[in-house]
Chains A and B, each alone.
Chain A
């Protein structure tokens, strides 16, 4: 908006009598050149979009499962907002995947018509949350990692990925704030809430190393400046987690130090299509309506 004085702001002629419902909405990705950068394999870009999109879609689904179950109405709306932000990111990424691999598939085809073995999300987003502490700890790790990733992805040579990342940075910054606020609040709360946070950290910890391991596709795309080098995210993610946990007097369960990238680091499990059993139920629920009523719209 940016007016020099208040009179300009109220005399500007805009048909927004319903301004209480919000104004100034913008179309995402409008006016961006959708051509693939030269010398980059479209299939690789599509596969990378699916990794990023599936992370967002499954995390969004897990958040949606909290609706009607959240401890407070206000928290429920917050979780719904975060879920919708991630769903929006997944939609743009799936659409990009369909354009990049030349198949022309739309976002629904990727979300609803793939088997769980075809999903390429990291395993961090797959487990069912045991309790609210489990949710906020996982959301903290996920959004810290995704924010570090999106910040760097803004510099990618793929114009659409860059735009999606630029848009996502503000969204995920808020998600991280939200989760961090709750982790500190519960971690530094009562003995009971602190125990729940410590238990949640132990559940999430085994899935963290995988976030920093590149799949073959990511390695190829890093070479042509399209993908972000996963291992480059580790120092920032660890620093943020140590700081947040530190404010609650907590530590990362397995000595979250920068030298933990070892020879025995895990393969890129989720990005290579190896998943937990929990993903099957999540995907089945996610796709149940689309499978029962193919092509249904409302």
Chain B
């Protein structure tokens, strides 16, 4: 190993999102270690699409994800729990429109 190169003991963590053949959007399926994003894509292909699951892969380094904190759960989410008027329940939905 050259002295100038920083040697890390472990590759950084990446999160993997897959879009299935029949899925509309990418879904988080798991995480993996890789040296960079390109290698993470290769690893994601090898780990998460072996059984014909996916047609598209996104990867992002886990450190780049900003997540809501469990401590903030109540102020973040509780206020919407009793506001049923935010749901458009007064529409009649045609039978032919799925996923609503």
Q: Which A residues contact B (CB, under 8 angstroms)?
A: 1, 6-7, 9-12, 14, 16, 19-25, 72-74, 77-78, 81, 174, 177-178, 181, 185, 190-192
Contact = CB atoms under 8 A, between A and B. Distances in A.
Tell me what chain B mostly uses at the interface: helix, strand, loop, or mixed: loop
A6 B24 contact: yes
Interface in B37-59: 38-39, 42-43, 45-47, 50-53
Interface of B: 1-2, 5, 11, 20-24, 32-35, 38-39, 42-43, 45-47, 50-53, 97-99
Given A11-B98, A72-B33, A181-B39, A23 B21 contact: yes
A23 B53 CA distance: 7
Contacts of B22: 1, 9-10, 12, 14, 16, 19, 23
Contacts of B53: 19-22
9 contacts: A1-B21, A19-B21, A19-B53, A23-B22, A74-B43, A177-B42, A185-B35, A191-B2, A192-B1
Contact of B51 (A10, A11, A22, A77): A22
Contacts of A6: 24
B34 A10 contact: no
Given A21-B53, A181-B42, 13 more contacts: A6-B24, A10-B22, A10-B99, A19-B53, A23-B52, A72-B11, A73-B33, A74-B46, A78-B43, A181-B38, A190-B1, A190-B5, A191-B1
Contacts of B33: 72-74
Contacts of B45: 174
Contacts of A19: 20-23, 53
Nearest to A16: B22
B52 A190 contact: no
Contacts of A185: 35, 39
A10 B21 contact: no
B50 A81 contact: yes
The 4 closest A-B pairs by CB, nearest first: A22-B52, A22-B51, A78-B46, A74-B43
A7 B52 contact: no
Nearest to A7: B98
Contacts of B23: 19
Contacts of A25: 52
